[in-house]
Amino acid sequence: MATVITALGYLEGSGFLTIINMIGDCIFYFMPFFLAVSAANRFKTNPYLAVALAAGLMHPTILNAAAQIAETGVNSIDFLGMPILLMKYSSSVIPIILNSQQ
């Protein structure tokens, strides 16, 4: 809907269009949380822990560092000897499912 409105030149830069874009992006941005609950239910594990793990992957520090890979060249951080890849997990599927299996 937002694409059609923008293509027609209506309400460009308006608050209405901003809200419509946010509504469209919400399901993709918060997909790891929905997926964590679904995977936890499927694998019969704790959904609260699965959501907490998804939240860790969605933390702004991880997302901001992932956005700066091109500038810094650093693509992972070390946590107790385990590398944590810096990438945007907001539209990811596999890492959340693997974390939900505990």
Q: What is the DSSP letter of 48?
A: H
> Within a domain: residue 84?
yes
pLDDT tens-digit profile, the chain (102 residues): 656 666 556 666 677 888 888 888 887 778 888 889 998 999 898 999 989 988 888 888 877 877 777 778 878 888 898 888 777 777 677 777 776 665
Q: What pLDDT was estimated at residue 80?
A: 92
> Within a domain: residue 60?
yes
| Cβ neighbours of 87 (radius 10 Å) | 17
Q: How many domains does the chain have?
A: 1
CA gap 2, 17 in Å, rounded: 6
Q: What pLDDT was estimated at residue 102?
A: 55
Range of the domain at 55: 28-100
> Within a domain: residue 49?
yes
> Within a domain: residue 56?
yes
> Within a domain: residue 85?
yes
> Within a domain: residue 16?
no
> Within a domain: residue 17?
no
